[in-house]
């Protein structure tokens, strides 16, 4: 699959993404993280992400994902494309079907920012 529209991953979640209360985010970090959070802010995309993540590292065929929604094919493709473009999932086309897989390194980036100690008043 082409990665031309995919945001680059930050080098490492531990090295770059300390909790937001530890130090201010760099502009590039904030831009990348905001794109991911924006993609997940849509209920359909959040649910799609959850369905893919629930596979425990296994891939999910788009044919299986569409069964959980009453959406047209183009609408499903759009939502999956949004998740792919921000780097939350990767995809691979095999014949007529596309298979999606969670990108755990990206999930680690989100968790590092929102992890323990990231919320004001929460102990580290």
- DSSP output for 49-82: HHHHHTTTT--EEHHHHGGG----HHHHHHHHHH
Confidence (pTM): 0.73
pLDDT at 89 over 80: yes
Is there a domain that residue 17 lies in? no
- Greater pLDDT, 51 or 7: 51
Is there a domain that residue 85 lies in? yes
Q: What is the CATH number of the domain that holds 35?
A: 1.10.10.10
pLDDT of residue 83: 96
Is there a domain that residue 13 lies in? no
Of the pLDDT bands very low, low, confident and very high (cuts 50, 70, 90), residue 81 is very high
The model's pLDDT over 23-51, given as tens digits with 9 standing for 90+, comes to: 788 898 889 889 999 999 999 999 999 99
Question: Range of 77's domain?
Answer: 25-109
- What is the count of structural domains for the chain? 1
**Residue 36: Cβ within 10 Å count:** 20
Is there a domain that residue 61 lies in? yes
What span, in angstroms and rounded, lies between the C-alpha atoms of 73 and 66?
A: 8
What span, in angstroms and rounded, lies between the C-alpha atoms of 90 and 33?
A: 17
Q: Cα separations (Å) of 113 from 20, 82, 90, 96, 105?
A: 6, 21, 21, 37, 13
pLDDT of residue 112: 81
């Amino acid at each position: 699959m082409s990665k031309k529209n995919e945001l680059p991953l930050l080098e490492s979640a531990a090295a770059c993404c300390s909790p937001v209360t530890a130090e201010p985010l760099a502009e590039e970090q904030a831009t990348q993280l905001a794109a991911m959070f924006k993609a997940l802010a849509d209920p359909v995309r959040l649910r799609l992400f959850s369905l893919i993540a629930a596979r425990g590292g296994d891939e999910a065929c788009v044919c299986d994902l569409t069964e959980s929604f009453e959406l047209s094919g183009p609408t499903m493709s759009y939502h999956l494309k949004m998740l792919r473009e921000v780097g939350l999932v990767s995809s691979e086309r095999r014949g007529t079907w596309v298979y999606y897989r969670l990108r755990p390194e990206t999930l680690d980036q989100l968790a590092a920012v929102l992890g323990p100690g990231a919320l004001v008043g929460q102990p580290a």
